[in-house]
Structure 1
Amino acid sequence: MKKAAMAWVSVDGGPGLALWCMPLDGALYVVSGPGEQTAPGLADTATATVTLRGDHGGRIVTWPARVTRLLPGSEEWGASAPLVAAKRLNAAGTATELVERWAAGGCALNRLAPAGTPLAEGGSLPDGSLAATPRPSPAVRLTHKPFRLHRVRRR
């Protein structure tokens, strides 16, 4: 968990969403809300399931998490939010401005702490890919002919 930058978080048995996170003090911190990543239901739940993958891309552990939302102005917020903001890549403004934006904009800073023994790790991981079929989407992409820089002459 110390090297985690992405975690797949599942809320209420739903699909796992890939979320940017920051490990700190034995837990993962996730920011979501306006202007940040989308994590439906995470700010309103007490438990979630977290899956972490290793450098090789394979799953290394899945564990139950206790979710705690940190509120702006609290002692935990004051200690954690600046550290999370400092590691946030591609953020507009300084870490202090980012923390202020999170507090004013209704963003949720959640702490995901391990809540029990891992559900799967090491030898208990399944051998299959566990790939799910893609969820339905209204987005449609038409396939076009491949781009060619030069005209191809036919003989």
Structure 2
Amino acid sequence: MTEQLLDQALVEEATKKSGLIWVTGSRVPTLDGRRDQEPASRPLWHVWHDGAVCLVGDGTGEQPLPGLVDGGDAVVTVRSKDKGGRLVSWAAKVVELAPRSPEWEAAVAELKGKRLNAPDGEAMPDRWARECRLLRLEPQGTTSALPDGSLAAPPLPTPATTRRPAPAGLPRLLFKKRKRG
């Protein structure tokens, strides 16, 4: 019993303090849609609210949430904010919150303060209600042993591209020496 309480405390404190978690969901379709690929861990920003991780995504300008389906399972890996190494991995149940429900409103109140560089400011909750999914990852009481290896993997294929190259003169502007007068 004591070990279970210590695990719960570790999960909660580590997740609260980390601004980024790595989440592995279920199998997801490949870009061509013909077959499923192994689930991959994705870095996701989040907030810890009411005993669970809350995430928003899959809408215009928001983070993708592939493999995270209502009622499905996920594995959450939390990194150290100081050193960046893995602290704990834990099993979670995925619950999708209905837009405008009391639970959704409470989670949005926490999330909107943590969303950086939102294109629409105060209209963001309305856009989330129309276009996005808001998920809760509820801990299932089990932590996993941390793996020995690095778990490094190539990035997932994506249609995202860089808009254009940086201007040629930018390094000179950033690193020019200031004249003393």
Which bin holds the TM-score, normalised by the shorter protein? 0.7 to 0.9
Partners of 2:24 and 2:76 in 1: how far apart? 7
1:49 Cα offset (Å):
0.6
Quote the residue 1:31 is aligned against. Answer: 56
How do residues 1-150 of structure 1 correspond to structure 2 at under 5 angstroms?
1-12=15-26, 14-35=39-60, 36-55=62-81, 56-95=83-122, 97-105=123-131, 107-120=132-145, 125-133=146-154
* TM-score, normalised with respect to structure 1: 0.76
* Structure 2, gaps ≥5 residues long: 1-14, 27-37, 161-167, 172-181
Partners of 1:30 and 1:135 in 2: how far apart? 20
Partners of 1:24 and 1:79 in 2: how far apart? 9
Partners of 2:153 and 2:42 in 1: how far apart? 13
Letter in 1 for 2:99: P
Quote the residue 1:153 is aligned against. Answer: none
1:133 Cα offset (Å):
4.8
1:24 Cα offset (Å):
1.5
1:86 Cα offset (Å):
1.9
8 Å contact kept, 2:95–2:136: yes
Provide closer, same or farther for how the CA distance between residues 133 and 89 of structure 1 changes in structure 2, counting only shifts above 3 A.
closer
Provide closer, same or farther for how the CA distance between residues 117 and 83 of structure 1 changes in structure 2, counting only shifts above 3 A.
same
My pick for the range that moved more, 50-59 or 12-21, is: 12-21
1:58 Cα offset (Å):
0.6
SS at match of 1:67: strand
Letter in 2 for 1:75: P
Q: Cα RMSD between the aligned structures?
A: 2.8
Provide closer, same or farther for how the CA distance between residues 126 and 43 of structure 1 changes in structure 2, counting only shifts above 3 A.
closer
What is the identity percentage for the equivalent residue pairs of Structure 1 and Structure 2?
A: 45
1:39 Cα offset (Å):
1.3
Partners of 1:74 and 1:135 in 2: how far apart? 33
1:93 Cα offset (Å):
3.1
1:130 Cα offset (Å):
2.5
1:113 Cα offset (Å):
1.2
Provide closer, same or farther for how the CA distance between residues 99 and 137 of structure 1 changes in structure 2, counting only shifts above 3 A.
closer
Quote the residue 2:30 is aligned against. Answer: none
In the alignment of these two chains, the number of paired residues is 139
